Structure 1
Amino acid sequence: MSQNSAPRYPLVLVPGMLGFIRLVFYPYWYGIVEALRRGDAVVFAVQVSPINSNEVRGEQLLARIDEIVRETGAAKVNLIGHSQGALTARYAAAKRPDLVASVTSVAGPNHGSELADHLHRHYPHDSVRGRLLTGLLRIVSALICWLDTGYRGPKLPVDIHGSHHSLTTEGVALFNQRYPQGLPESWGGHGPEEVSGVRYYSWSGTLQPGKTDRGRNLFDGTSRYCRLFARTFVRERENCDGMVGRYSSHLGTVIGDEYPLDHFDIVNQSLGLLGKGAEPVRLFVEHAARLNAAGL
């Protein structure tokens, strides 16, 4: 990405559930922030509650956006959200479209996740299995907060039940009633390109066959987990990245929905150990140029 293709407004990267900025030395957006900054883009990787509802995370993001516009002098920001981070970004844009130039959903469960539906059915929060899962998530969340060397703000609240409900098909349907900006009118279609002055984009991946080609590498452990998670899917079992369905991810202008990338590889969380045809960093660099071309 050349200097002339850097976006006009800062890029704000919003992580998904159990997200972080940097665990000790390991960044959530592995290699992506550096690649964008090499093209002179102004980039902020931010942190919100690792486990909480879309609305709570969205309010935290709005507070961070206020800080960024004051710090940079920019009038607006471009939001790029991974997984639940996409819903977080959508909330912020719906509430303060004057501060947001664009929202980009990267593997966002914009119509809910069938994995969350499966957990809701088989691990209800008031059951023994549900309480065990809740305990495990509390431990993981606490570890993330403790090990996140990229975040220096106040302690962030945790709401496991609120987070889980925010990701189910039913929960996201309620969220979409309140904040429909960018959503397609028909299943699998494109949504409006612009709403209230905010541009909407999305891209996502799908699990591919084979072990070393088209996005799966023998040293890429996340692919094994995602293939296991994919077994919980019904409607989009053959069209998902392990955690989010191909068509469920659609928002605004759909840049692509069949990239050979699982839910973690799409933000390069496998230390770059990806198979043939998988280039997640390139997708972000190209998108920065796309935002620049749109005057954003």
Structure 2
Amino acid sequence: MTQEYATRYPLLLVPGLLGFVRVLIYPYWFGVVKPLERGGARVFPVMVSGVNSTEIRGEQLLLVIEQVMRDTGASKVNLIGHSQGALTVRYVAARRPDLVASVTSVAGPNHGSELADFLERRFPAGTPGGRVVNAIIGLMDWLIRIFETGYRGPRLPTDITASHQSLTTTGVALFNRRYPQGLPATWGGDGEELVDGVRYYSWSGILTPGRTNRGLNLIDGSNIVCRLFARTFIKERGQCDGMVGRFSSRLGKVIGDDFPLDHFDSVNQMIGLVGKGARPVQLFLEHAARLKAAGL
């Protein structure tokens, strides 16, 4: 086993909305963990509430971090969050920077999601349409919890309304006022890389005609879903991954915000079915090497 990805501190992978560690035999971070481990990294895919507010998920993550630190003897951790997981790790780093070496946002809605805004406008809470959307999300969350095999902790609470509000541009704006660490001072810019001793990084993708709708994505239904969702975007129309806008995702040192990746491709989630030229696992490996080189 090599040591090229042997970071000083463990890597904790934090999922987004409707996230999981493993459903039956299928992992959330498909094909990501093993290559990192073969390179010497200590990697922990973690579980927080699949559907809840960012703050509740963050408090759950703090308990996980403390347990990982006890188990490994590490004094800090590197946090990598996908989608809402990016907001979750930001919350933890803002509350307890002494426990966090780095925060990495992967396709994180750091200024909110226009898809969440569309759903709020089109299917308001309390309306028949809103109840249907909530029922679908609730059913998906229930099925994931029933078939989750990678998590063995206590049952985690669900709050669909709080989760949705945490992802709208209005909800994230409130969150950002409380926890601004790493945010760009101007729209589309880079944020501070080092804040309170924590290094901040981000990367994300955009739907790229001729690339994200080619390759193995030709047989990936989730890519079609992302392309449909992309039609709800206004401010970042043509500059999103189907769920998160390119500039909305930016945080700290931006590794890239235009990789040919849809929202699921960012974590190689759909059994490795990605678009033409996409290499999402390589992004994680390169980042682990980057963290190691930074002494993290």
Q: TM-score range by the shorter chain?
A: over 0.9
TM-score by length of 2: 0.98
Say if 1:94 and 1:207 are closer, same or farther in 2 by CA, change over 3 A: same
2:193 corresponds to 1:193: yes
Q: Matched residues in 2 for 1:188 and 1:92: separation?
A: 24
* Preserved contact between residue 5 and residue 36 of structure 2 (Cα < 8 Å): no
Residues 230-281 of structure 1: per-residue CA shift (max 9 Å, x gap): 0000000110000000000000000000100000011001212223210000
Deviation at residue 54 of structure 1 after TM alignment = 0.4
* Preserved contact between residue 15 and residue 82 of structure 1 (Cα < 8 Å): yes
Residues 75-125 of structure 1: per-residue CA shift (max 9 Å, x gap): 000000000000000000111100000000000000000000000101111
Q: Matched residues in 1 for 2:121 and 2:206: separation?
A: 24
Q: How does 1:172-251 map to 2 (within 5 A)?
A: 172-210=172-210, 217-251=217-251
Q: Matched residues in 2 for 1:275 and 1:185: separation?
A: 32
Q: Matched residues in 1 for 2:38 and 2:129: separation?
A: 47
2:47 corresponds to 1:40: no
Corresponding residue for 1:148? 148
Q: Which consecutive residues of structure 1, in runs of 5 or more, have no partner in the other structure?
A: none
Say if 1:221 and 1:135 are closer, same or farther in 2 by CA, change over 3 A: same
Q: Matched residues in 2 for 1:293 and 1:214: separation?
A: 35
Give the percent of matched residue pairs that are identical in Structure 1 and Structure 2. 67
Q: How does 1:113-152 map to 2 (within 5 A)?
A: 113-152=113-152
Q: 3-state SS of the aligned residue for 1:166?
A: helix
Q: How does 1:26-105 map to 2 (within 5 A)?
A: 26-105=26-105
Deviation at residue 217 of structure 1 after TM alignment = 2.2
RMSD (CA atoms): 1.3
Residues 28-73 of structure 1: per-residue CA shift (max 9 Å, x gap): 0000011110101000000000000000000000000000000000
* Preserved contact between residue 212 and residue 261 of structure 2 (Cα < 8 Å): no
Deviation at residue 187 of structure 1 after TM alignment = 0.2
Q: Matched residues in 2 for 1:104 and 1:133: separation?
A: 30
TM-score by length of 1: 0.98
Q: Matched residues in 2 for 1:241 and 1:255: separation?
A: 16
Q: Which consecutive residues of structure 2, in runs of 5 or more, have no partner in the other structure?
A: none
Deviation at residue 218 of structure 1 after TM alignment = 1.1
Deviation at residue 211 of structure 1 after TM alignment = 6.6
Q: Matched residues in 2 for 1:67 and 1:106: separation?
A: 24
Deviation at residue 132 of structure 1 after TM alignment = 1.1
Q: Matched residues in 2 for 1:260 and 1:233: separation?
A: 18
* Preserved contact between residue 211 and residue 276 of structure 2 (Cα < 8 Å): no
Q: 3-state SS of the aligned residue for 1:3?
A: coil
